[in-house]
Homo-oligomer: A and B are copies of this chain.
Amino acid sequence: MHPTREQVLAAIADGPVGGPAIASDLDISRAAVWNHVEALREDGFSIESAADGYTLAGIPNYGGPALEYGLDAPFDVEYHEKIASTNERARELAAEGHADTVVVADRQTGGRGRLDREWTSPSGGVWLSVLVRPTIPPAQAPVYTLIAAVATARAVRECGVEATIKWPNDIRVDGEKLAGILTEMEGEADRVSWLVVGIGLNANVDADQLPDDQPATTLRAETGDIDRRTVVQRLLTEFWTLAQSSPETTLDAWRELTDTIGQRVRVDTPTGEIVGEAVDITPPGALVVETDDGTREITAGDCEHLRPA
């Protein structure tokens, strides 16, 4: 959001405040104040004007300005009612040189998950992609998948839904998939140029709108419709905070939220299937599995939780 527009909003949040006072405080003209107020109304903010000044009476439910307003993280938000893929759009923004930008859509028509799998994204879900440019080597990129998983699980738990993380990138409730994460990147061999972390959260959608190839659930089914603005802002704030902290902070938070560790698992890796007990996660995000042949660290693969042997 335009920085001055943000200041106007802040000024009238506990209104009423007169236009001349705002103009004087922000060192802009009265006409500029009026223009910002009109622009904010067009963005969906409800602003009462009375003799004693302007008062912010309501904010839009969702969308770019609503998500930026009150967001405790320095992300720009680009909102789309409908888009092919928020990750694809974030990659375009990356190519144009943008940073610290979040693309959010009400629905995606061509959403994708890991390994180019289709990701169904009906209206009412939370479909977003975070574009960041951290100073890390590509080897550290999986940390951002963990950051996204922790941020999503925490935001969901604030809704009263006991989500857990299944390694590497699923958020589940009682074994049913609630959200998934797709981290993409570009860079040189020893430094990332950009990372795009896509998060798909089945929020205010009917479970029967989702494909039945795996057990899936939605926030609507678990707890009823939630306020997506609150959930997205919590998620982005957690994401930002973890991204500024050490990888170990993220790993510790992840360990608290996962149900993979302690499980017997089967992991399909590019080099074969590994079966054993998941005992830990190590930087930047490898799963440690005790097998009959010794301890293995797995950096990539599809993980299935098995019943105890």
Contact = CB atoms under 8 A, between A and B. Distances in A.
Interface of A: 114-115, 135, 137-139, 141-142, 144-145, 168, 182-191, 270, 284-285, 299-301
Given A135-B270, A142-B189, A168-B190, 11 more contacts: A114-B188, A137-B299, A139-B139, A141-B189, A142-B190, A184-B189, A185-B186, A185-B187, A185-B189, A189-B285, A191-B300
Contact of A189 (B145, B189, B301): B145
A183 B191 contact: no
Given A137-B299, A137-B300, A139-B138, A270 B189 contact: no
A190 B141 CA distance: 8
26 contacts: A115-B188, A135-B270, A137-B139, A137-B299, A138-B138, A138-B139, A138-B185, A138-B187, A139-B284, A139-B299, A142-B190, A144-B189, A145-B189, A145-B190, A183-B188, A183-B189, A184-B187, A184-B188, A184-B189, A185-B185, A185-B186, A185-B188, A189-B285, A190-B300, A191-B270, A191-B300
Nearest to A187: B185
A147 B274 CA distance: 30
**Chain A interface helix/strand/loop/mixed:** mixed
Count of identical protomers in the assembly:
2
**Which among A182, A185, A270 has the greatest number of chain B C-beta atoms within 10 A?**
A185
Q: Which one of A135, A188, A299, A301 has the highest number of Cβ atoms from chain B below 10 Å of its Cβ?
A: A188
Contacts of A141: 138, 189
A135 B270 CA distance: 8
A139 B300 CA distance: 11
Contacts of A284: 139
Contacts of A270: 135, 191
A139 B283 CA distance: 12
